[in-house]
Amino acid sequence: MKRALVALCCVVGLLPLAAARHAPRLTVARLQYDGGGDWYANPSSLPNLLAAIRERTSLPVEKAEARVTLMDEKLWDYPFIHMTGHGNVKFTDAEVVRLREYLERGGFLHADDNYGLDESFRREMKRVFPDREFTDVPLSHPIYHAVYDFPKGVPKIHEHDGAPARGFGIFLGDRLAVYYTFSSDLGNGWEDVETYHDPIALHESALRMGVNLFVYAVTSRPVP
């Protein structure tokens, strides 16, 4: 494990978002969205991920996930928001503006397609950033090497239609602001092992990738 980077994370991770009134809470905030999709999917995933971050890094992360909407003033308290689900996503015009502002001010969004989110998520993100496209995140990017090395990119946890796991991103300058895991089911891999009876190796691989995501998110944020 790259201890030096994780130690830096403890310092940088306490810097607030530009719009925050106080230091952020170090936890993962689950994004609650409208449109009919099950934003609440994978209930054991984030507690397990937070436990892994707490055990494997020196970050003082909380035990419980947060839940937040884009229009909630508490949004600014969280450097890392996570969204998942199988169905439709629909942002209001005000939410589009708020998400763009959140990301431009240093926030990080991880979206995990739970097999069914792709079409609506891409549509809504095009509203957020009309001038930007999702691109494959290069395998040399720090998100694949921050704590654990993933030379082949995001791991494949569940098979559906045989498509390879992909890690797509939206960059704001040099910073990866949105990381979108597609055909991976990364969040399913964070769930309790008995939920899907996945091999321990896949569960471990998913948790390691999740640790990388969180560490990258809180160390890549610009200093206000």
Mean per-residue pLDDT, 123-148: 98
Span 117-134, pLDDT tens digits: 999 999 999 999 999 999
Q: List, in order of start, the domains of the chain with CATH numbers.
A: 3-219 (3.40.50.12140)
pLDDT(11) > 60: no
Q: What are the tokens at 91?
A: 């942002």
Q: What is the largest CA-CA distance in the chain?
A: 46
pLDDT(57) > 60: yes
Q: 7 vs 3, 120, 133, CA distance in Å?
A: 6, 38, 33
pLDDT(5) > 60: no
Reported as half-sphere exposure (CB side, CA atoms, 13 A), residue 218 has a value of: 35
Give the pLDDT of residue 198.
87
Q: What is the CA radius of gyration of the chain?
A: 16
Tell me which of 21-25, 41-45, 170-174, 185-189 is least confident.
21-25
d(C-alpha 182, C-alpha 52), whole Å? 22
Give the pLDDT of residue 194.
93
Mean per-residue pLDDT, 105-123: 96
Whether the Cβ atoms of residue 127 and residue 120 lie closer than 8 Å to each other: no
Centroid of chain to Cα 106: 13
The label of the residue with tokens 């005000």 reads 94
User: What pTM was estimated for this model as a whole?
Assistant: 0.91
Q: What are the tokens at 131?
A: 């001038």
Give the pLDDT of residue 15.
45
Give the pLDDT of residue 110.
98
How many percent of the chain have pLDDT more than 70?
Answer: 88
Burial environment of residue 197 by CB neighbours within 10 A (0 to 12, 13 to 18, 19 or more):
exposed
pLDDT(92) > 90: yes
Q: Which amino acid is located at 94 in the chain?
A: A
Sheet holding 108-113, edge to edge: 66-68, 29-31, 80-85, 108-113, 175-182, 166-172, 135-136
pLDDT(38) > 60: yes
* pLDDT confidence bin for 160, thresholds 50/70/90: confident
Q: Which amino acid is located at 141 in the chain?
A: H
